[in-house]
Structure 1
Amino acid sequence: MEGGDLSAGGSHENPCEVEFLLEREEGLEEQRSPDFSEDMEDSGFLESERSRAGAGGLGPSSAWALAFFGADCFGPEVIEYVANLGMHTSSPSLDVKAEELQQQLIIETRNLKKTRNFYQRLIQQERKNKGSETKLMLSKMKSQLEELRSKVTFLDCVRKYLEVLRVDRWGLEVSLLPSLAVSGWDWELQSSDDPSVLSFSVNKGKSTLQAGSALGLMAHLYARNAAVEGYIQQFLYTYRFVCTPEQFLQFIMEKFCCATREGPDMSGDREKIFHRSLDLLQLWLTDCRSVDFRKSSLVETVENFLNTEVIPAYSQGEALLHALHGCHTSPAATLGKGGQTAFDEDDSVCLRSSLEDLCRKWRIPRVVESSPSRPKEKAFSISAALPLPCHASMMSSICLQNEEQPPFSQQEVSVQHVAQQLTLLQQEIFQGCHPVHFLNSRIQGVRDKVLSPNKDVSWPVPPAGGRAVLAQEGTADSFLQRLLTHADSVTNWISAEIVICDSVKSQAALLTKYLWIGKHCYEWRNFATAMQVLRALENVIVRQLPAWKHLTSKIFEILEELRAVQVFLKSDDLCLMGGQHTQRRPTLPSAHILAMHVQQLEIGAFTLTTGAYKWNKLRSIAKVVSQVHAFQEALYPYKPDRDLQAYLHSRITRLANSDIHLLAADNDANFQQSNERQTRRIHNTLKRVKATFQ
């Protein structure tokens, strides 16, 4: 998928973001004084919207989008619109363009609010009167509302592009970067071309970075187009393969101090280095504080640098200090609140039809059918695999039967409601993740083959190559491990609930229930829970249960759809970013599948024979992991059911580490039962065989 497919006119941005902020402002109107002017209201909206971007200028949505789309992040319509701003002046600067854009946003935002309020009143009138004239007016107002919403979203995308240009205006010429990389405290930048520091390739007149030394890649952060091409954000995602946070911080501090050595009267290249150093520090603190600034020594170094070097020379240094000590929230958490929108039915239909095509293409077998690729092997026998009943297994069964909370099979709640609450539980964990957590996952024990939930997968594994990521922080408490542990717990809970059912009929009903939960989840783009359901149903014990024979062909089609979804997710590392409308919908990826995609990109050496780091490799990794922030932007709009969530959490916790084999061995419903006639026939056959040998 090309980035340009989504970026024309900024179409990859979340159109519900501005709408949410409008609703928030509307809710605050009741608390304002009656004489509060509309201009102040709209200005306040814009200021609150702009404050989310932080002092560095780039908001979270701009950050991940730049890393993912690169130079194609902003479409030609946005670029042309910015070029035409401020044409009434002789020399339109970025400040003039930003001021003119702000006035346009105020006007269009006010029009959107008025139109939306009028549209809501028309809906209320139509419900009361149900007249044809009201319906006609509703149709016209709806199209007008969509047009205004698109215009405000477009102007907001233009504003983000201006913020990127504000960062890029302090960039250096590429020819000066080798000199900047190797210079010490006393330097004068000179144009040079040193392939050992930075290596470029030229294609159709366009120069593209291919490789560079550690100092060279850090120096390229000061390039003129580093921000608009997405290099800065891509580097922040992947620099840990190149250097440590301490080395990166030392580089920024050194360049800043060199630029300010001659006093406050800076100009030319020194002024550019001064401002770019502060922009880099701001972007780093804003986006990576939770993963890089956990060590007290690093925080103390930054704090001392800000107090002694930055604040005396830069009035906005206090904002950097606040960003360092401020309460950290997920970069996508704020924007995510603006994405609480219902799904379009057309999206669900498109996804469902594509999955049906995949089912037919791959011809996925049903779970009760034996594999055609291994016909000579003896069929698996559940009676042979399960251990004989023992005291421990009986005690586990008694404990489960005597617990206060009833089994899930006895809960009278709709599958849609359960799927919603499981989605909210999964979302709560995923929101705490950062793209960096998916790097170098092999050292955390993440393997290609998903192991049984009853197995320990936490042992260390040698990395596939490159520098170990976050090794100083350990792997036991990483967010990726929390996601994988939660997935294993949900998977084991589902399998356990099925095998402890007291009858084949209840097992069949519960299998049907879980399959529908999985279907709802993948149609809502909660692929994490959908894959947990599939893995639980494909447990070696569960898939041999007699209850499968009591399911209808329609239910088996759901299982095939889930398998097709799994094939779809594994087919491409960017498959979930392949459409304009999918960008606006909440998404929960499968953590294991995403980690394996990143591992595939990490295979092989990160450096050339010259010791230079392969930037193409690092850029590809940054593009894949940037999806984490993209998926975190939009949250699901479901209302939390605290009682049901508490019940689900309790059952998942209780059954997370239970042994499926032992639980299944204590339940007669898990075995194929012979009727009396079959028993008599077998008995007579044995008697005849015995008589033959006498």
Structure 2
Amino acid sequence: MSQLWFLQYDYAEGDIVFSADKSVKGGTIRALVERLTLHDEIDMSFIANFLLTYRSFCTTEEFVELLQERYNLAPPEELTPDELEIWTDKKQKLVRLRVFNVMKNWLENYYNEEDEFILNKLHVFANTVICDSSSFSAEQLNRLIRKRREQDGVLKKLIPNNTNGPMPIVPKNLNHIRLLDTDPLELARQLTIMDFKLYSSIRPIECLGKAWSRDDDTAANVKQSIDYCNKLTAWVTGSILNYKEAKKRVVVIKYWAQVANRCMELQNYNTCMAILSAFDNSAIGRLKKTWEQVSSRTTQSLNAIRKVMGSNRNFQEYREMIHSVNPPCIPFLGIYLQDLTFIEDGNPDYLKKSSNLINFAKQQKSAEVIREIKQFQSPPYIFQYVPEIQDFIKHHLDHSKDVDFLYERSLELEPRTQSVE
């Protein structure tokens, strides 16, 4: 039986395009919002992908306005009383329910602090429009709006600490911490606390349109995470180059190899990769006299990490491993940024031969990566925060040297030989 004409979709035939697998390939913003709130179908995958990525093709204000328009859907003028009753029951009520569910979903899972300006608009809409058809729905929205207003800014003020975690292995002299006196496991734990705080703060909007490569603050948390890794790599490099004697440099290499191993055990692959990058950069990798004295045990340990974290076949071994681990875990962020860059650069924002059909297949690809990033943002690690070690780490990260300085230092310690490096 064909669908009654007044129960058909409102978007025009060319306003939305589907792939062979029936997933949305592209569409106008209005058609995509209608797709979110269809009266006769709920596409959960599409809804999740849209809410994760909509900020790349429209503002939150535009999105909310389109939802409000959709809620206020008017019947065709030429309906008979019987048809109007069917339309109200089979379409309007269901569309309104879908709009409410999308608004609720957005408030619960996709709201950002900078969206605060829209809360008042939603509050007014709930009290003046939604309450006319469903006071229960209006109150649910208002409850979520109040919750969001109360939470804004609160989470950032919280100091992470877990008294239920394993007892910290603290150095004998907490007032004057020395790197080699700090247990490698405890340093790995404290680095993990720091790294996870950054990683868990990354929001979907930071992963869209290569926002981390722009000068604005859209991707502040991604930038801080990148900065953490770069500074850690520089700290590890500098700590090795701090000693004139090769045998002392070997001791530091062994120490950081132990920290890297502990990070692997803690499933903190991001910090592990930052440490590994220090061993493999030009300033450390070229120290032949130093590496000749590194024990086979340390070398084998590092090679085992390199095997898992290596870039061979697009990090195939690492990718297979990360898909089988159970959180808590901090993945190597660089791979996600690489994948997102590939998607962004390799796919147009709009479908070919079209100026208004958003390339939603592109958004779907981005959403898959963002969903994996979010997957590891909880649960948190249960480690006790040690302020003195945290301050020690922050001091060394903030005072890490730049690449050129470190390379010059490397040349001072082991000058170039006749062969070209």
* 1:189 CA drift (Å): 4.6
**Aligned twin of 2:388:** 643
Deviation per residue, 1:373-410 (Å, 9 max, x gap): xxxxxxxxxxxxxxxxxxxxxxxxxxxxxxx95652xx
Contact kept, 8 Å, 2:113 with 2:152, in 1: the verdict is: no
Deviation per residue, 1:111-158 (Å, 9 max, x gap): xxxxxxxxxxxxxxxxxxxxxxxxxxxxxxxxxxxxxxxxxxxxxxxx
**Aligned twin of 2:110:** 288
Contact kept, 8 Å, 1:496 with 1:663, in 2: the verdict is: yes
TM-score, length-scaled by structure 1: 0.49
Change in 2 beyond 3 A, CA 1:278/1:495:
same
Pairing of 1:253-652 with structure 2 (within 5 A) = 253-258=68-73, 267-290=89-112, 293-294=115-116, 296=117, 298-311=118-131, 313-315=134-136, 316=139, 317-328=141-152, 408=179, 411-441=180-210, 443-445=211-213, 474-475=216-217, 478-545=220-287, 546-564=289-307, 565-567=309-311, 570-571=314-315, 575=320, 578-579=323-324, 582=325, 584-602=326-344, 603-608=346-351, 609-611=353-355, 612-652=357-397
Match of 2:62 among 247, 264, 276: 247
1:326 maps to amino acid: E
Change in 2 beyond 3 A, CA 1:588/1:554:
same
CA distance in 2, matches of 1:407, 1:505: 18
Change in 2 beyond 3 A, CA 1:283/1:499:
same
User: Secondary structure at 1:497's aligned position in 2?
Assistant: helix
User: Secondary structure at 2:385's aligned position in 1?
Assistant: coil
1:634 maps to amino acid: P
**Aligned twin of 1:200:** 18
Contact kept, 8 Å, 1:259 with 1:273, in 2: the verdict is: no
- Percent identity of paired positions between Structure 1 and Structure 2: 17
Contact kept, 8 Å, 1:508 with 1:550, in 2: the verdict is: yes
CA distance in 1, matches of 2:275, 2:41: 43
CA distance in 2, matches of 1:302, 1:200: 32
1:444 maps to amino acid: W
Deviation per residue, 1:200-246 (Å, 9 max, x gap): 3556xxx4333222211111101368656322111001112332212
CA distance in 1, matches of 2:200, 2:367: 19
CA distance in 2, matches of 1:290, 1:624: 19
- Larger relative contact order, structure 1 or 2 (CA cutoff 8 Å, min sep 6): 2
Aligned Cα root-mean-square deviation (Å): 3.7
User: Secondary structure at 2:310's aligned position in 1?
Assistant: helix
Change in 2 beyond 3 A, CA 1:577/1:199:
farther
CA distance in 1, matches of 2:10, 2:112: 38
Change in 2 beyond 3 A, CA 1:251/1:231:
same
| Pairs aligned (count) | 383
CA distance in 1, matches of 2:71, 2:243: 67
User: Secondary structure at 1:210's aligned position in 2?
Assistant: strand
* 1:576 CA drift (Å): 5.5
1:212 maps to amino acid: G
CA distance in 1, matches of 2:407, 2:361: 51
**Aligned twin of 1:60:** none
Contact kept, 8 Å, 1:500 with 1:664, in 2: the verdict is: no
Larger Rg: 1
1:325 maps to amino acid: R
Contact kept, 8 Å, 2:206 with 2:218, in 1: the verdict is: no
CA distance in 2, matches of 1:226, 1:493: 54
Contact kept, 8 Å, 1:664 with 1:670, in 2: the verdict is: no
Unaligned runs of 5+ in 2: 76-83, 156-160, 167-174
Unaligned runs of 5+ in 1: 1-173, 180-187, 332-336, 343-403, 446-458, 461-473, 675-694
* 1:642 CA drift (Å): 2.6
